Structure 1
Amino acid sequence: MALAAKVEQFLNRKGVSYDLLPVTNQAGSSFDSAVMARGGAVGSVIRCTAMIDLKGVILVVHPYDSSPDADAIERHTGRRFQPLTAAQTNRLFADCLPGFVPPFGAAYGVPVLVEQALLEENALIMACGGAGALMVLSGRNFRLGMAGCDRGTVTLRQGGHQPASGITLEEIAEKLQKLYRLPPMPALALRILRLTGDSDASVRELAELIEFDPSLTAQVIRYARSALFNYPGQVESVHEAVTRVLGFDRVAHIAVGIASVRAFDIPRQGVLGMDQFWRHSLYTAFLTQRMAPHCDADPGLAYLCGLLHNFGLLLVGHLFPAEFAELNRLREANPEASMRALEDQVFGNHDSQQLLTVGHGVIGGILHKLWELPGAVVKAAGMHQQLHYQGDHRVYVVLVQLANGLLKEIGVGDEFNPDDLQQLAAEAGIDPAQLDEFRKDMAEVAEDLDSLAYSLAS
């Protein structure tokens, strides 16, 4: 299957000429895979998002590296839309394969809202309904196919993956330290972290260090008592939590995480609030630790990478509470937009804050480096927003990305634009067939992780 039947009839009726760019069956398993297999820049590629309100459906046609802006669409149309579910979209465009919806909504009786800038392009590449090819239209033929459609500036651009103007991470770190008062790692977290680097450290030393803080002690014991570990006996002390249930590394890592979070002051509520932060962090840590043995990674270090990978978001919320509240609102209103796009929208218009458009991942990596955390933790935080990362500690970066991709399927995390999980698994050296096993493991502990996350956020 290449061109969808209704699309072919529509284009022929309109006199729209087009070319088909073949893609291999393997590359065409998803629209994103087909685009990546094509190679070259994605600036001329477009995608479509079906959205709905009480009055009906529209098809938003926008650049590949963008997402519909629900607020801008509301200002333009006077209507509040939300994305259709995948199942609804598949029913509406029944002769198209999932993910390969073409921009010609009129062929299906669906009104189209097209991003204005696309009508000025010389040539465009798009889905044609089938997985076997991409469609190429000249600018003139695209405008002919869009005749009668609504148009406006209604999308969020995701931006590039590198800091602007060639600025290096070292320069960003230097500027951040000069411009903003970055919180130091809490003293207790620093002492615990240093203890983990001492090969002669004992369980007694770790327990005594944690027990200096009654609140931390209670949280570590609560963690050990959770149904997550199914320990049949009583756990009454940190020493018992280490020796009977969790082990030295896991107690140290969760204690570092709990103590470090105290450096930040952000609200509990909202999709980016502290409740959801802990939920996301614990789920990611569970998955990264679970997957680590399958790619010869250290499970304890993988757990710490998953647990701390999103601290950049806490830092943004701590330094800029008003902007964080706006980011939280945008995240809820635009579930399919990438965090990079939303961060760019919030911070890109403020000269004093444009540095933050590098993304919360990079900001978190810089903070972890300043806090002298392990290199793998620094890279996992700093690069988890950068797909196809090539560099030091790559396996830990990809493990966090794969965990986040799996979590998007169940609505856990800070963004929900789908990932190519098969590709990420391959990059991590994990058999993609094992993904269902990880999903099953996660489902079995979900209730316990949710309960634990709520208690840690309290």
Structure 2
Amino acid sequence: MSKLSVGAKPLSGSGQHVVRMTLVHDKEGKLLVLLPASSLLNLSALWRLTGRTLQPVSCADAQRFFSQEALNNTWGQKQLFNMPCILDTNLDPAARHDIWEPITGLRFMAREGWLSESLQTGGLGLSCELIESVQTASDTEAITQALERFTALRVRQRLEETLGLPAFNQTTQRMIMLRSDADAEVEDLLKIVKLDPSLSAQIMSWAASPYYAAPGRVDSVEDAVIRVLGFDLVVNLALGVAMGKIMNLPDSQVRGATPFWLQSLAMAALAERLCKKMPAEQRLKPGLAYLSGLLHNFGYLLLSHLFPAQFSTLSRYIEANLHLPFPVVEQQVLNLTRDQIGAWLLENWSLPDSVCTAIRYQQDAGFKGTNFLYPCLLRVTSLALREQGLSDGPVESPNPADLEALGLSLERVQQEAALICASQDALKSLTELFEA
């Protein structure tokens, strides 16, 4: 299967003395940017320094450029620095440097004097610790401040009104109530479905999808719900589609990223599979695990909706810093992360607490509050899919502490992820139903 994700394998350890190189370009040509490996490349500082709106090259172009055979020997590596270079002020151009390129993993030693020609210097890097230190006290406060930062008018109305999102239709509102009702039954679901011809048609299409491989012919909505899909899956899929319709997929996405719905469905499917492999005494609810996976990246759509003028800049920052977690980049560019805004909105839409918690803390390994196993499951799921090229972000192995908390082995997680990857074509056919 072809790789559909973006992300780079971070350096092991601190990487304190390693120098990262990134290729950027504009109409005038290409430049190499060199800065400490653990730092975020601040594109705004780069633009101010050069007077040019330089952009990172795409993952595919970087792969081709840094995979040149000549870069496997000392002569070619030295020739690389004959092109225009910009060096972060924290680095000594006359010193010997351990050079690293995160997309290809190219790594070599640059000898003394290699970086001293065709060189500009400037403060280009920001440490992750510095970015994270400016976080606000609460998610609501962070959302408000971000909105104030990027709008001409100060936020004077309640935040819900400021978001300006379309309202859910009556069917979706009933689905949300049903999802929160522990006593709801299939008959309650069928009553809602039969009143909505569009939803009924969608459910029939899902049941007939190659991914679910239903035996025999699906002749009715009742058959689709009871025999093929089940209560939880129908409710979760319906909610996912409804929320996706609230906002369009952004035009200026990160180039080469996993298609939105393919990643969402892969996350949902693997989260549910792993949930069922957990020990019985620790096992989470598979339906809520599936819904958490399906909506894990909903905040990404919301960021593009709230900040359309800044979203293209955010995408370029991500492309320039593929070795860093997305929340670090989003915090720097917007003062707000997709996980904060996504979880906040789902909470206001009255989705289950476990789903909101999963999405809010999916990148925070230090979170140990109520329902902490749900974000733990999302972290393991995402990292496993990144290794398969079906999820975006830095490519790392799951944290052993997360695996232990879930009662899962690394081998089991990798096996289940490989099964999801093997069903990629069937998942793609299912995404077409969502996009339609």
Equivalent AA in structure 2 for residue 394 of structure 1: F
Q: 1:288 aligns with which of 265, 271, 283?
A: 271
Pairwise mapping of residues 187-226 of structure 1 onto structure 2 (< 5 A)? 187-226=170-209
1:392 corresponds, among 364, 370, 383, to 370
Displacement after TM superposition at 1:445 (Å): 1.4
| TM-score in terms of structure 2 length | 0.72
Could you tell me how far 1:456 is from its partner in structure 2? 0.7
Decide whether aligned partners of structure 1 residues 328 and 85 sit closer, same or farther in structure 2, where only a CA change above 3 A counts: closer
Distance in 2 between residues matched to 1:427 and 1:155, nearest whole Å: 39
Q: Which residue of 2 aligns with 1:65?
A: 39
What is the match of residue 420 of structure 1?
397
Equivalent residues of 1:186, 1:262 under 8 A apart: no
Q: State the match for 1:261 in structure 2.
A: 244
Instruction: Return the alpha-carbon distance in structure 2 between the equivalents of residues 125 and 390 of structure 1.
Output: 40
Q: Which amino acid aligns with 1:34?
A: G
Write the distance in 1 (CA, Å) between the matches of 2:257 and 2:394.
22
Q: 2:284·2:374 contact (CA, 8 Å) conserved in 1? A: yes
**Contact preservation (8 Å) 2:10, 2:394:** no
Higher share of residues assigned helix: 1
Show the counterpart of 1:298.
285
- Which residue of the other structure, out of 74, 81, 88, is the alignment partner of 1:111? 81
Q: C-alpha distance in 1, partners of 2:196/2:428?
A: 24
| Structure 2 equivalent of residue 434 of structure 1 | 412
Measure, in 1, the Cα distance between the counterparts of 2:406 and 2:51: 43
Q: Does 1:319 align with 2:319?
A: no
Q: Which has the higher contact order (CA 8 A, sep 6+)?
A: 2
Tell me how many residue pairs correspond in the alignment. 390
Q: Work out whether 1:181 is the aligned partner of 2:163.
A: yes
CA apart distance, 1:364 = 0.6
Give the conservation status (yes or no) of the 8 Å contact 1:57–1:110. Answer: no
Q: Within 5 A, what are the aligned runs for 1:19-418?
A: 32-35=11-14, 46-49=18-21, 51=23, 60-67=34-41, 81-82=57-58, 84-85=62-63, 109-111=79-81, 113=85, 115-119=87-91, 147-148=116-117, 150-153=119-122, 157=126, 159-160=128-129, 162=132, 164=134, 166-172=136-142, 178-179=158-159, 180-181=162-163, 183=165, 186-267=169-250, 270-271=253-254, 276-295=259-278, 296-328=283-315, 331=318, 338-340=325-327, 342-344=329-331, 346-347=333-334, 357-413=335-391, 415-418=392-395
Deviations 1:181-226 (A, max 9, x none): 3535554223112223334423122012123222222222211111
Question: What is the aligned partner in structure 1 of residue 5 from structure 2?
Answer: none
CA contact (8 A) 1:60 1:68 kept: no
Does the residue aligned with 1:262 lie in a helix, a strand or coil? Answer: helix
SS at match of 2:396: coil
For 1:243 and 1:254, locate their aligned partners in 2 and report how far apart those are by CA, in whole Å: 15
Distance (whole Å) between structure 1 residues aligned to residue 185 and residue 55 of structure 2: 62
Relative distance call for 1:444 and 1:80 in structure 2 (3 A) is: closer
CA contact (8 A) 1:269 1:275 kept: no
Is this contact kept in 2: 1:115–1:152, CA < 8 A? yes
Counterpart of 1:284, as a letter, is: M
- Report the secondary structure of 2:259's partner residue: helix
Report the 3-state secondary structure (helix = DSSP H, G, I; strand = E; otherwise coil) of the residue aligned with 1:119.
Answer: coil
Give the 3 Å change call, closer, same or farther, for CA 224–156 of structure 1 in structure 2: farther
AA matched with 1:150: L
Q: Distance in 1 between matches of 2:181 and 2:342?
A: 25
Contact 1:210–1:255 (8 Å) recurs in 2: no
Residue type matched to 1:178 in 2? R
The one-letter amino acid of 2:294's match is L
Per-residue CA distance 1:349-372 (angstroms, 9 max, x = gap):
xxxxxxxx2211111111111112
Alpha-carbon shift at residue 66 of structure 1 (Å) = 1.8
- Shift in alpha-carbon separation, 1:298–1:115, aligned structure 2, 3 A: farther
**1:118 aligned counterpart, secondary structure:** coil
Q: 1:273 to 1:200 in 2, by over 3 A?
A: farther
**CA–CA separation in structure 2 for the residues paired with 1:278 and 1:203:** 26
**Runs of 5+ consecutive residues of structure 1 not aligned to the other structure:** 1-29, 36-41, 96-103, 130-141, 348-356
Q: What is the rounded CA distance, in whole Å, between the counterparts of 1:269 and 1:107 in structure 2? A: 33
Offset from partner CA, 1:414-452 (integer Å, 9 cap, x none): x43322335454564421122431232112211111111
Give % identity. 25
